Chain A
């Protein structure tokens, strides 16, 4: 039930085809699974293992190294507050404290209604726009407590649907493999591998 859908299996195969070795597609495929279900389950990792030709343990071994993959359901919106140095200097902890109060959860947890997960994260490359946050990896800059409240209100009312997709969806534009794809790298590597 939490295997990849047929449509996503076709996308997965296209992605695998862009790498000289199938295992290189692991991270993109894990993102695809997370996009479909909102998190990464054992079943979807087994399915990815089949598609790539490795064991499920290898898939989990890789996946568990990376912060963005969630192995249990999280909120529809994941709010990441950067508290690293540039943001700390400009009020990130004050903002995080406000966020915890507003959402009624500590950083690292999810609200009871499953709407919001709050995280205290490392630098997100927006240091000149401190304090900076991301909602499902979409940026908000120079956020005041009032801005934060307005954001939560809008998300709760479903008024940012277009701009901020549900957790798990990253880029909504995918690279396509066209007939101009040369395949030279893949072919040349296959020759090296065969030696």
Chain B
């Protein structure tokens, strides 16, 4: 059992600078002294020497896409703030809980000051008076490291009244959740931050930038997004834009998990690295486990449509992946080799959404539960001939047309996300589902997991 994560930082095929992982192998990189010794808080000085508009312009030039899942350009989002409405807030989304996603926690644990520097610079750029750093509840070490880092940052004039003697003041409040995936959705996060149940808000208003926390203008950004800001300020937006592809700029962190020899978190040039490189290069995934082959992979978290061997040579480029029918989402890549039981994989992801549905709308609350129970009874060997049609019919009522990008009858995208694994697995591996239904067991050659038997009555879907 290892207590130190085996993240590997990029260096080869293809190369790029370490933008946000540069301190991951600095032993005291998470302390104030370690941060300052390695160039930390220089970007803040640079930023304060410019006007807020100039800093915003650098971020706009970088064309950095948000790293939280939707991939919206950060500079553009900041531009949606209505002029002259104050106070404005920044909400930092550190709720990382999309299955397969693992990078924000590393950024918070290993380089908390970099995130704080990105937060303070961003607040300066769009004139926010206070930032709320919302960390997932289950991440005790990240909370500890951030609390200490904030105390040190306050003590060293980085945060608070008159930052570094400048007439700009800002507060950062460390806050934390208590276990609920849906709180990662930005309006649910805002509700949670107001002390409510974490349920997404009805739209309109469409953007928290117009009406967010306490109905004031609010920017919600992901941890990784903000961690990139100091580098953009130091090296320029153009330098960031020059890395990767013009359609997916900068370096980006990807977690490669599942059936590869070296699962890990890699910072690689966005837009130009391919899935195959990530899985096969010795400095990244190191090949599929045991020399086997890829049966399917998830390119961007549990909500994404699955990809297959024919997609291996696609670059990690947002428009390319969107066009191929899925998304890069939160940089969560899960590799499944040819021994994978696709019915079990599909069920496990659907169970996640059924458990995490907030319950606010019927198609999602009821639909995801039905989907989970039908899949579980197939897995338990009690599948019925009509089950696959029922799965599709229920999916259709949550996400009409079962298309990509999904349409929805629900308030937020969680409901349709439960349809992705079904559309993917039933679409591509229908024979495996039929075999389960006919024979009560998986096809030959796939691994069985000791999943506990039926805990509930069969669904009456």
Contacts and interface: CB of A to CB of B under 8 A. Distances in A.
Interface of A: 18-21, 23-28, 30-31, 52, 54, 61-63, 65-69, 80, 83-86, 88-90, 92-94, 97, 107, 122-130, 134, 136-144, 147, 150-151, 170-176, 178, 180-186, 188-189, 192-193
B235 interface: no
Interface of B: 1-3, 5-7, 86-87, 89, 96-102, 104-105, 129-130, 136-141, 143-145, 147-148, 150-151, 154-155, 157, 159-161, 169-171, 173-181, 192-199, 214, 216, 255-259, 263-265, 298, 302, 332, 334, 336, 340, 344-345, 348-349, 352, 355-356, 358, 449-452
Contacts of B104: 125
B449 A23 contact: no
A135 to B, nearest CB: 10
A175 B148 CA distance: 7
B326 to A, nearest CB: 15
B122 to A, nearest CB: 15
A62 B195 contact: yes
Contact of A184 (B130, B216, B264, B452): B130
Most B C-beta atoms less than 10 A away, residue of A61, A67, A90: A67
Given A126-B5, A126-B102, A184-B130, A189 B216 contact: yes
B160 A128 contact: no
The 4 nearest A-B residue pairs measured at CB: A185-B130, A67-B179, A180-B160, A66-B178
B5 A129 contact: yes
A89 B161 contact: no
Nearest to B4: A141
Given A27-B192, A181-B171, 17 more contacts: A27-B178, A28-B176, A30-B178, A65-B199, A68-B138, A80-B138, A84-B99, A85-B302, A85-B334, A125-B138, A129-B6, A129-B263, A138-B140, A142-B2, A144-B1, A175-B174, A184-B129
B344 A88 contact: yes
30 contacts: A20-B87, A20-B130, A27-B177, A31-B137, A62-B196, A65-B180, A65-B199, A66-B177, A83-B348, A84-B99, A84-B348, A84-B352, A89-B258, A89-B259, A122-B352, A122-B355, A122-B356, A123-B97, A123-B99, A126-B5, A127-B332, A130-B258, A137-B137, A137-B138, A171-B147, A178-B151, A180-B154, A180-B157, A185-B87, A186-B130
A25 B195 contact: yes
A171 B143 contact: yes
A68 B137 contact: yes
A94 B178 contact: no
A125 B87 contact: no
B102 A125 contact: yes
